[in-house]
Amino acid sequence: MAVVTSTSVSPSDAPRTITPALSELKSGKYGVDNLQAALEALHQDGFVVLKSVVDVAHVDHINSYMTREADDLVKNNTKPFNQGVNSNILQGPPLKDPEYLYNDVFFNPFVLQIMNAYLGANPSWGFVTGNNALPRTHGLRQPVHKDITFSHPQCPFFVIANVPLCPFNPTTGSTEFWLGSHAHTSGTDQVPATAEAKRERPTLRVGEPNCFVLPEVVEERRKIRPPVQPTCDKGDIMLRDLRTWHAGMPNDSDQYRIMLALGYQAQWYPNHTLRSKLPLSQANFFMQHGGQPVEVRADFLPDDSDFGKLNDIFQFRSTLE
C-alpha cells in the first residue's frame, strides 16, 4: 500500500486504501470484502483511497491539457487564489472536447458503487471542478477548513471524489486531511461569519459558520488524531466525506499538482439547485453517465460558455433554508 504520512502519525492512523483484485477490475465492481472496507473507511475516517481504478493514460492526457491551460491561467492572473492563500487555484477539467471525456474519470464504476452504498441509491452528480497546487509555493498552506458554510447534517450527505493527475505526495503538495474529523464535528466548531467576511464572500450568512475551523478546536483534535498527507499514484481516486477537515499544502516541486473534483449528493438531501455546467455538444456523453447508477444534474450551455468560471460557483447549502 503506497500511503505515506507525516512522521508524527502512526501506521494505524494512516489513510486506508482499497486495492482491487484482477477479477474486480474486469467486472468494474468490488466484491463484498473490499466494498465493506471502503465503507468502514468512509464512516470511520471520512476518507479512503481507491487504488488503480483509472487508466493512467487517461490521467496523463488530461494532465497535459490542464498543465498547458494552467500556464495561461497563472500568466494572465485569471483565477483567484483558493482560501485566500497564494498557492492554490480552482481549475476544472476540459469538458468541451470528447477526447478528454473518459468514463473511468467522470463515471468511475468503483466510485459510484461506493457512493450508492454510502449515500443511498442513485446519488446525484452535480459538481465538477479541480484544484491546482502551484509549484514552488514553499511554506504556503491553507488554514484547516471544511467546504461547508452552514450547520450541516451529522450524517453522510455529500462526498467529493478527487482524481490526482500526477504523483500526489507531501513534496508535490498533497492535501492535509484530518481523518475522523467528519464524525466529530458540527457548525459550532467553525469560525462564525462576520459582516466583513460576508463582503468578501457574499454567500456567507453573518453568525453562521465560516469554513475555517476554530484554532482551539483544531489543536484539541490534533491531540486525538493528527493530520496526514497521503501519497497516491496516478490511477488512484480519493473519496472524502464533505464534512472532513482538510487544508491545501505547499507544493515544493517544479510541476503543477492538479486533481479533479467530482461531487456526489444523497438523494434525500434537499439541495435542488447545485448543478454542473456542461457543454451542450457533449450532452450525450454526460447523460448516458457511463451506464452507472447516478443521476446527472446539469445545465447544458452553449460551447462558448466559460465552464471553468461557471463551475467555480457552487453552494452546498440546503435550498430549503
Paired residues of 265 in beta bridges = 124, 158
> How many CA atoms lie within 13 Å of 50's alpha carbon, on the beta-carbon side?
34
Domain housing 41: 11-310
- Tell me whether residue 4 is in a domain: no
- How many other C-beta atoms can be found within 10 angstroms of the C-beta atom of residue 183? 16
Q: What is the pTM of this model?
A: 0.93
Domain count across the chain: 1
DSSP 134-180: -TT-TT--PPSB-S--S---SS--EEEEEEESS-BSTTTTPPEE-TT
pLDDT in tens, the chain (321 residues): 333 333 355 666 899 999 999 999 999 999 999 999 999 999 999 999 999 999 999 999 999 999 999 999 988 887 767 666 678 899 999 999 999 999 999 999 999 999 999 999 999 999 999 999 999 998 899 999 999 999 999 999 999 999 999 999 999 999 999 999 999 899 999 999 999 888 888 888 999 999 999 999 999 999 999 999 999 999 999 999 999 999 999 999 999 999 999 999 999 999 999 999 999 999 999 999 999 999 999 999 999 999 999 999 899 999 997
pLDDT score at 98: 98
Strands 257-265 and 158-164: antiparallel
Does residue 89 lie in a domain region? yes
- Cell numbers placing 306: 466559460
271 is a domain residue: yes
Supply φ then ψ for residue 119, to 5 degrees.
-100, -15
- Whole-number pLDDT of residue 91: 94
- The reply to whether 172 falls in a domain is yes
Identify whether 316 is part of a domain.
no
> The CATH number of the domain where 293 resides is what?
2.60.120.620
Does residue 211 lie in a domain region? yes
Structural domain includes residue 3: no
Is residue 319 domain-resident?
Answer: no
